[in-house]
Structure 1
Amino acid sequence: MSARILVAKPGLDGHDRGAKIVARALRDAGFEVIYTGIRKRVEDIVSIALQEDVAVVGLSILSGAHVALTTRTVDALRAADAGDIAVVVGGTIPQEDVPRLLSAGAAAVFPTSTPLEDLVTGVRALTGTPTPS
């Protein structure tokens, strides 16, 4: 059984090409992927994550609100007693914000231009999912 991954576009960001590419790469790598679509509230993302019993929530953020949205998502998951769900963040993330995101509770950060194979490897490591033979 493969790990379930939720790919979400929080906030007002309407650009979803990258999120769809990531969702497809994860699916092609053997993960079960749920994609929320654009402009989701943090509360909706957490609700979907709980309903779908995911191992990872992947936030795709291009709006510049990555620190606030990541912090709110991590806090909401913890408040829902789901702090064991890993949160990863990707998108337009300046390198100087990576430590802030990790301090906020992100398990990993994948800025724009991260090779998809590195992202898949990182998600495999977080979920303990072996590479299929």
Structure 2
Amino acid sequence: MTATQFNRPIRVLVAKVGLDGHDRGARIIATTLRDAGMEVIYTGLRQTPEMVVNTALQEDVDAIGISILSGAHMTVFPKILQLMKDKQLDDVLVTGGGIIPADDMAALRQLGVGELFPPGTSTQDIVHYITNWVHHHRNF
């Protein structure tokens, strides 16, 4: 299944949360997802979890991708998940990538975060993962 085989394009929010100012990876992912036929909303730098969740609601996204290199992943992801729960945004994938140790990835998966992608992951693997998740979890 490809991103263009749905009734509408898959909508993905790509965000950089906190003070992390390195957005090259996020921009590469945003371009890759766009090239795969997805609609991408890129929030830019220095977003708060509240800003990310509010944008996800306003834009009716299927997935949120967080790019994080700052080491704050064990704070950022749980906060986003809690805000989503509070706003009953329970059918949206939360995924991401960056510098996240394997033990932390496992802990975040236990909390409900989707697959997390370290540097060097094939961009096509990310496209495939999001496309398959949306196909199995969203109804449009």
Aligned residue for 1:79? 86
In 2, Cα distance between equivalents of 1:88 and 1:124 = 12
TM-score with structure 1 setting the length: 0.93
Aligned counterpart for 1:120 among listed residues 111, 127, 130: 127
Aligned length: 129
In 2, Cα distance between equivalents of 1:23 and 1:73 = 20
What pairs up with 1:1-133 in 2 under 5 angstroms? 1-128=8-135
The one-letter code sitting in structure 1 at the alignment partner of 2:27 is K
- Structure 2: tracts of 5 or more residues without a match: 1-7
Identity of aligned residues (%): 45
- Structure 1: tracts of 5 or more residues without a match: none
TM-score with structure 2 setting the length: 0.89
- Give the superposition deviation at 1:105: 1.5
Please say if residues 9 and 16 of structure 1, whose CA atoms lie closer than 8 Å, have aligned partners that are also in contact: yes
The Cα offsets for residues 75-104 of structure 1, whole Å up to 9 and x where unpaired, read as 111111102111002111122221111012
- Give the superposition deviation at 1:72: 0.5
In 1, Cα distance between equivalents of 2:24 and 2:52 = 19
Q: Once structures 1 and 2 are overlaid, which stretch shifts more, 32-41 or 112-121?
A: 112-121
Which ranges of 4 or more aligned residues in structure 1 deviate by more than 4 Å? Answer: none
